[in-house]
Amino acid sequence: MNTTSAQAIVAATARREVAATPTTAATVPVTRADFDTLMVQCYAPASFVPVRGEGSRVWDQSGRMYIDFASGVAVTALGHCHPALIRAITDQACTLWHVSNWFTNEPALRLAKRLIEHTFAERVFFCNSGAEANEAALKLARRHAHDKYGEKKYRVISTLNSFHGRTLFTVTAGGQAKYASGFGPNPAGITHIPYNDVAALEQVFAESGAEICAVLLEPLQGEGGMTPATPEFLDAARRLTKAHDALLILDEVQSGMGRTGRLFAHEWAGITPDVMATAKGLGGGFPVGAVLATEEIGSAMTPGSHGSTFGGNPLATAVGNAVLDVVLAPGFLDHVAAMGLRLKQRLAGLKDEHGGIIEEIRGQGLMLGLKCKVPNQALLQSLAAERMLTVQAGDNVVRLLPPLIVGEAEIDEACAKIEAACVALETQARVEA
């Protein structure tokens, strides 16, 4: 065989090998611009793509570092790549991933037992997100009322500016028309009242108490503007639901899992719900949600009445157990409360210095908001220029949701960036004037 023929055979073989080699994720280059051509345009993500995280930091494709006070909207509660979560998911991934709910599994049972041990609950239902948890909680309330009192007891009371998820039921229950419009007809039987308005709550019960099956509340509104419920409002909700054979459902999707310095935010008010939804921080970044209920209420759901293919899978619940290991460790919630106080005090000083930018400091623990005098989008962009990640909220608020492991030095660094962002906006305003 001559050299030319040999080279041709080698080249042909190489072409066949290349053609037979499947494309892998690592070989596909992507940029932020690909989002605009590939993805459904439900979102308007930032101009950079995060690729790595550690603790309170993330790095983008260009190697630039950012301090993360967004935490994936209160999801990465223990920061990025926490060693305990890495161990938990690695160990479980080597053991059992999924069996469906035709079977149960050990991590789910352990997590359920521990959530019951540390809350009011006696029954747990696992799902994959906060929206699914709130959806299940609402279905549970209606099923319980239907079976015990009849089909006329179906009405749900929610509040304006609330946010409970993106399913058709939960987006209707949320008191923000912008999220529910265009998807009608929306589910009926939901009444919205102003948040923290005890008189309005009393009036709706006086008018239609016999029809009300549940009141759905966030102890601290996140998406709506970082506004805490007053103790009087929560007390009234508990009192009126008991008096009218209705359930009190608390949405602790964002405010739970230690975010305010207690395991769940309603503990500060000293009330006990009948049903509670939680998610976000429960998985530390891995999708998991849970509905917690008393024995009586939880028994309304029977085999086949509700379900979730991936809900309670071994991977998610193994990570949830690891999150609880950290959050329930002695001193951890005290640390959250102390860091929350330090951050709030520093922010109060910034408000005094930059009153033309910051109008009010809201929230509790490490779930805080800056009510802005300028458009909140302007402050968000100015903070992004300082390489600080934050989250927009309603009522012209910028949310600050650092990981619960945040330390004093990182809080001080973040506040320095907030100050620099305010100075930049003030300078721009003087130039434009």
d(CA 71, CA 258): 14
Instruction: Give the pLDDT confidence score for residue 146 in this predicted structure.
Output: 97
Could you give the residue range(s) of every CATH 3.90.1150.10 domain in the chain?
64-80+331-432
Q: Spell out the residues 6+ positions from residue 263 whose beta carbon is closer than 8 angstroms to its own.
A: 118, 119, 256, 257, 327, 328, 333
The low-confidence residues of the chain, meaning pLDDT below 50, are: 1, 3, 10, 18
Closest-CA residue to 263 (of 77, 408, 138, 69): 77
CATH number of 64-80+331-432: 3.90.1150.10
- Read off φ and ψ for residue 67, nearest 5 degrees: -90, 130
Instruction: Give the pLDDT confidence score for residue 181 in this predicted structure.
Output: 86
Q: What is the DSSP string of 120-188?
A: S-SEEEEESSHHHHHHHHHHHHHHHHHHHH-TT--EEEEEBT----SSHHHHHHSB-HHHHTTSPSPPS
- 123 forms beta bridges with 293
Q: What is the DSSP string of 318-349?
A: HHHHHHHHHHTSTTHHHHHHHHHHHHHHHHHH
Closest-CA residue to 296 (of 266, 272, 275, 267): 275
Q: What is the DSSP string of 359-395?
A: EEEEEETTEEEEEESS-HHHHHHHHHHTTEE-EEETT
d(CA 377, CA 393): 10
For residue 224, the SS3 value is: coil
Q: What is the DSSP string of 55-71?
A: BTEEEETT--EEEESSH
Per-residue pLDDT tens for 73-128? 999 999 999 999 999 999 999 999 999 999 999 999 999 999 999 999 999 999 99
Q: Is the dihedral of CA 400, 402, 404, 408 positive or negative?
A: negative
CB-count burial class (<10 Å; 0-12, 13-18, 19+) for 355: exposed
Could you give the residue range(s) of every CATH 3.40.640.10 domain in the chain?
83-327
Please state, in angstroms and as integers, the Cα–Cα distance from residue 79 to each residue in 67, 82, 326, following that order. 11, 6, 12
Instruction: Give the pLDDT confidence score for residue 10 in this predicted structure.
Output: 47
Q: Assess contact for 287 and 76: CB atoms under 8 A.
A: no
Closest-CA residue to 308 (of 279, 346, 267, 349): 279
Amino acid (1-letter code) at residue 174: G
The token duo for 398 is: 């910028």
Instruction: Give the pLDDT confidence score for residue 17 in this predicted structure.
Output: 52
d(CA 126, CA 136): 10
Q: What is the maximum alpha-carbon separation in the chain?
A: 99
Q: So what's the architecture of 83-327 in CATH? A: 3-Layer(aba) Sandwich (3.40)
Q: Spell out the residues 6+ positions from residue 234 whose beta carbon is closer than 8 angstroms to its own.
A: 217, 219, 266, 269, 271
367-372 and 388-389: which strand pairing? unpaired
Q: Is the dihedral of CA 416, 422, 425, 429 positive or negative?
A: negative
d(CA 384, CA 396): 17
For residue 248, the SS3 value is: strand
Q: Chain centroid to CA 152: how far?
A: 33
